[in-house]
Amino acid sequence: MSGGGVGTRTRVGKYELGRTLGEGSFAKVKYARDVRTGNSFAIKILDKQQVLRHKMVEQIKREISTMKLIKHPNVVQIYEVMASKTKIYIVLEFVDGGELFDKVANHGKLKEDEARRYFQQLINAVDYCHSRGVYHRDLKPENLLLDSYGTLKVSDFGLSAFAPQIREDGLLHTTCGTPNYVAPEVLNDKGYDGTASDIWSCGVILFVLMAGYLPFDEPNLVTLYKKISKAEFLFPAWFSSGAKKLITRILDPNPHTRITISNILADEWFKKGYKPPYFEHGEDVSLDDIDAVFNNSEEHLVTEKKEKPESMNAFELISRSQGFNLGNLFEKQLGLVKRETRFTSQCPPNEIMSKIEEAAKPLGFNVRKHNYKMKLQGDKSGRKGHLSVATEVFEVAPSLHMVELRKTGGDTLEFHKFYKNFSSGLKDIVWKTETNS
């Protein structure tokens, strides 16, 4: 930050932790490099106390073990699990193509064939995990990632158990950040079966891919819940009759009559151009690390070692920019926004901070500041799914700062809208490069 460091480098076991890729209510995901091989991973970091407090250890062990055995082309892979005295680290496949919904936000709705191709991959992933007794329970856009080949990867399967939601009655109960994707029986909180509710969320996702907007979208939560519980929505004119028929059978408010995955797989619209997934079955995967994490033995604990702080140098700067391309640091000319986006500024850091604050206030955000980090939290009454954004200022050269914004909660499409309004409020502090002035 101002005066040098970008913080210390942290080592956990053989991994060096890098930038924060995502942040949720109960976990943080950081980029990590295996220092011996140079391979990239993502590491999900959980607070151990929180996990133990919710008496969920058995279920979590079971789900992580199952997920570790799964090697499916459309599911983010879990490689290993480690623990320190206070944290649990889950080492995951690093997926670098952004969120699927960035495509919708940047280009509007997808063509039917493209939407169907992603939907087929989504159903393959969900079907495979269900067949092994693992449910997602929180399928929403931030969990749909693309790799560099454009293959869909669903993240957080089997990890939803960490979000405290299982009650004494053994049924799932949920608190939803983004109710727009959630099945009616989940909202009514009668306890529900994970299979049917995952299918509902897949239907909402398919609708958004093809329409470019949500089927159920009301600023008022009571109205929103009513619409969801009656499945009250309208199709846009451009949907084909096959797509409408399938989506109607998925968005059936009664979980008992809602279409099942085997019937989706048999549907004529769905089958068009369908390729069954090809994958290797897990070689011998050891589950010892998972036992070690939860059996409180001291010997297996890793430590978080801090290494000396350093200012963000050119290499760091480039490696943070997409595809090692400096041009992309200035994403303005493309008008693209990912869940994490950044700009550079030649203003002093305290001026940048107060400008960000000024720009966020009229958009209905509460601002919390700490050093050169700031959290913007959507005002509870006004914004559906309560968008929240984290921002951070780095010094990259004596008079050049980089500002990073990350969506930490709420809806992807909403974040894009917010960023457009927000960035127009910041235009006087953003450093202009020749190409986009």
Q: State the catalytic residues.
A: 138
How many residues are listed for the chain in this entry? 437
CB atoms inside a 10 Å sphere around CB 316: 17
Beta strands 388-397 and 400-409 are: antiparallel
Classify the C-alpha dihedral 411-413-414-416 as positive or negative. Answer: positive
Which has the closest alpha carbon to 412: 214, 138, 202? 214
Q: CA–CA separation, 423 vs 332, rounded Å?
A: 10
Q: What angle do CA 86, 137, 268 make, to 5 degrees?
A: 145
How many CA atoms, within 13 angstroms, populate the side-chain half-sphere of residue 61?
14
Question: Roughly how many angstroms between the first and final C-alpha of the chain, as a whole number?
Answer: 27
CB atoms inside a 10 Å sphere around CB 1: 17
CB atoms inside a 10 Å sphere around CB 309: 11
Amino acid of residue 372: Y
Q: CA–CA separation, 88 vs 73, rounded Å?
A: 25
The per-type count for the chain, helices as H runs and strands as E runs, is 14, 14
Q: Which residues pair with 278 in a beta bridge?
A: none
Which has the closest alpha carbon to 48: 162, 177, 165, 168? 162
Strand-by-strand arrangement of the 388-397 sheet: 340-345, 400-409, 388-397, 373-378, 365-370
44 appears as a binding residue in the annotation: yes
Contact status, residue 60 vs residue 156, Cβ threshold 8 Å = no
How many CA atoms, within 13 angstroms, populate the side-chain half-sphere of residue 375?
11
Which has the closest alpha carbon to 239: 258, 211, 214? 211
Contact status, residue 266 vs residue 289, Cβ threshold 8 Å = no
Please give the annotated binding residues, written as ranges: 44
Please give the annotated binding residues for ATP, written as ranges: 44
